[in-house]
Amino acid sequence: MSSNAVPGFLPSTNGLRFVNRFPAQATIFLRLGGRTILGLGNAADGLCGGLATVTRDLFDAGMARWEDVDPPEGDSPHFRELVWRQVDSFELGRVPFRFYDLAVAHPDPPTAWSRLLRRRPRPVETVRREWPRIRADVDAGHLSMVGLVRAATWDPRLLGLNHQVVAYGYEVSRDSLSLSIYDPNHPLDDTVRIRLQLTMDRRSATMSYSTGEPLLAFFRAP
């Protein structure tokens, strides 16, 4: 078994203290002549990408995490920072597209059309393409932004069922993998893990999330 971790990072000491849970409120406002004319988005859907990105930014900059123990209010600078870092985390649409692509274009088990198009099943794509990219980040001493695919649906309106987290360590053996995760939905918890077990023929894998939430695939974002 081999393992590695980003030196000095733990969710309990470096992750944001508050949970990714906000009241229903607009996140982006369109203003004209100093007046708000339209509010877009809904913070109640979560700002996981914003929390994950801010956590990475603060750690990379060698700065202390925010002192907030409760989710920041909607008119606060920290709330606005979370919103804009949430937008940034989408990487001009590349991250939502990758969520959708893994959800619908890499069916597991494979179908006739996915075989025809040579689209690998989600677990195979995760193991062969995404895990090496995450490992490279950690081996270089960098936190890795990770997208968790939690729903296989053609409805793009349900992309919000998916989730963004930060990987900071791993343990890997011949047949299994465990990724250490900072999860904005489980703040201060150093025990959150992605677990992956290769099948007997080593051609696919089963995945689980230590909190019990569903996990169909994961990828390095972007």
pLDDT at 1: 86
**The pLDDT value given to residue 88:** 92
What total of structural domains would you count in the chain? 1
What pLDDT does 29 receive?
44
Residues 6+ apart with CB under 8 A from 9: 59, 143, 168, 182
Q: How far apart are CA 77 and CA 73, in angstroms?
A: 9
Tell whether omega for the bond before 222 is within 30 degrees of 0, i.e. cis: yes
Which amino acid does the sequence have at 190?
D
Domain carrying residue 131:
2-220
Pairing outcome for strands 217-220 and 205-209: unpaired
* Contact between residue 101 and residue 151 where contact means Cβ atoms under 8 Å apart: no
Locate 198 and state its tokens.
């290769």
| Residue numbers in the chain where pLDDT is lower than 50 | 28-32, 35-40
Structure tokens at 95: 């991250």
Q: Cβ(47)–Cβ(63) under 8 Å?
A: no
Position 74 scores a pLDDT of: 85
Provide the pLDDT for residue 199. Answer: 80
Task: For residue 73, give both structure tokens.
Answer: 């209010």
pTM tops 0.95 = no
